[in-house]
Structure 1
Amino acid sequence: MPKALSEHETEAFRERICDCAARLYVEEGPAAVTMRRIATDLGCGTMTPYRYYPNKESIMTAVRTRGMHRFSQVLEDALGSPGDGRTRSRAVRDAYIAFARANTATYRLMFEYPEPHKDDTAYREAHERMLRTVVAHVDVMIDEGRIQADAPIFGHQIWAALHGAVMLEIAGMLPPGFDAASLHTRTVTALIDSARPPAP
């Protein structure tokens, strides 16, 4: 009888399943994501993935759910770094880009493809956490008096610019000499300058 996996080992294998599914989905298309193909790529028995997820649809929802929590965590950690609001905002930007580079398939799956099970409780909680997290650095700059803005809208403006820069980098379509961070710096500097409070 095989030895039961520890909680840590179970979690690690779930992560491997999700990483495999995300890669297959993005690189080969939705049809490539089957329980059999996942098992083959992971080198395990055909029925093994079913011990962790009932079907491929639940895996894809889990990819996004787990990805959003991991994404939110790295941004929250970055926001907790020392410095003023602008410094912490840059730390969030750098953490965002680092996550997208290190987890490109998951990142693309989170934002390029719609989630069909948006009412899934775990997914909804992860999504709401992410929405709070990606604009939290704007609240810090507002509290410091650095900018005057509607935090959710301004945060989404910055987010949209950063996501666009990241996707252009992933696609290899940035101008020579630019990466996502340097391009975004120019955009966000203009946005922040436009939102500065009027001089007294």
Structure 2
Amino acid sequence: MPAALSEQEIEAFRERICAAAARLFVDEGPAAVTMRRVARQLGCGTMTAYRYFAGKEQIMTAVRTRGLHRFSDALERALDSPGDGRTRSRAVRDAYIAFARADTATYRLMFEYPHADHGDPAWRAAHARMWRTIAAHVDVLIAEGAIEADAPILGHQIWASLHGAVMLEIAGLLPAGYDAASLHTRTVAALFETARTSRD
């Protein structure tokens, strides 16, 4: 009889399952993510995968939930860096882009997969945390008096432009000489200019 796995070993195998599912999603599309294909990627039997997750949707929810928390961790660390609001806002942008580049599969799965997990409490908590994190650097700029804006709305506008720039970079569709950071810098400058003029 095989020895019982430790919590760390169980968690490590869950992470491997999540990573395999995310790779399949990006490389071959949502239909490719089946318990059989995930198990094959890991070199184990399908029933082994079922010991860790009840099915494909549970794996997808776990990938998205874990990804959102890692994403928020990165942005929160960046926001806690030294400097004024503008400097910290740029650090958040850079952390965002670094996450998307380092783990493109999870990043895409976080935002592209159909939302079948709205009822999952863990996913809901991770999603709420992510949205709070998206607006947090705008709160810092407002508190400093650099801009006047509705933080959640401006935070969403900044996120939308950054996500668009990142996805264009991933797809190789940015103009020559641009990357996600340089394109976003020009876009966010216009957003901040509007936020400044609104208080004049």
TM bin, normalised by shorter chain, reads over 0.9
TM-score, normalised on structure 2? 0.95
One-letter identity of the residue aligned with 1:105: A
| Number of the residue aligned with 2:12 | 12
Contact 2:78/2:91 (8 A) holds in 1: yes
User: How do 1:123-134 residues align onto structure 2 when only pairs under 5 Å count?
Assistant: 123-134=123-134
Q: Higher mean Cα deviation, 183-192 or 139-148?
A: 183-192
Map Cα deviations across residues 25-65 of structure 1 (whole Å, 9 max, x no partner).
Answer: 22212221111111111112321111110111110111111
One-letter identity of the residue aligned with 1:123: W
Rounded to whole Å, the distance in 2 between the matches of 1:29 and 1:184 is: 28
Distance 1:198 1:119, change over 3 A: closer
| Number of the residue aligned with 2:56 | 56
Overall identity of the aligned pairs, in % = 75
Q: Higher mean Cα deviation, 112-121 or 169-178?
A: 112-121
Q: Higher mean Cα deviation, 79-88 or 18-27?
A: 18-27
Contact 2:165/2:184 (8 A) holds in 1: yes
| Number of the residue aligned with 2:39 | 39
| Number of the residue aligned with 2:85 | 85
**Deviation of the 1:199 alpha carbon:** 8.4
**Deviation of the 1:112 alpha carbon:** 1.6
Map Cα deviations across residues 109-134 of structure 1 (whole Å, 9 max, x no partner).
Answer: 11122211201111111110101011
Rounded to whole Å, the distance in 1 between the matches of 2:199 and 2:31 is: 58
Contact 2:34/2:56 (8 A) holds in 1: yes
Give 5+ residue unaligned stretches, structure 2. none
Distance 1:130 1:199, change over 3 A: closer
For the aligned residues, what is the CA RMSD?
Answer: 1.4
Contact 1:72/1:133 (8 A) holds in 2: yes
Rounded to whole Å, the distance in 2 between the matches of 1:73 and 1:108 is: 17
Tell me the secondary structure at the aligned position of residue 196 of structure 1. Answer: helix
Tell me the secondary structure at the aligned position of residue 46 of structure 2. Answer: coil
Rounded to whole Å, the distance in 2 between the matches of 1:66 and 1:158 is: 23
| Number of the residue aligned with 2:147 | 147
**Deviation of the 1:155 alpha carbon:** 0.5
Q: Higher mean Cα deviation, 102-111 or 142-151?
A: 102-111
| Number of the residue aligned with 1:72 | 72
| Number of the residue aligned with 2:181 | 181
Contact 2:148/2:199 (8 A) holds in 1: no
Contact 2:67/2:107 (8 A) holds in 1: yes
Tell me the secondary structure at the aligned position of residue 175 of structure 2. Answer: coil
Q: Higher mean Cα deviation, 64-73 or 9-18?
A: 9-18
| Number of the residue aligned with 1:161 | 161
Contact 1:71/1:130 (8 A) holds in 2: yes
Rounded to whole Å, the distance in 2 between the matches of 1:4 and 1:34 is: 26
| Number of the residue aligned with 1:120 | 120
One-letter identity of the residue aligned with 2:8: H
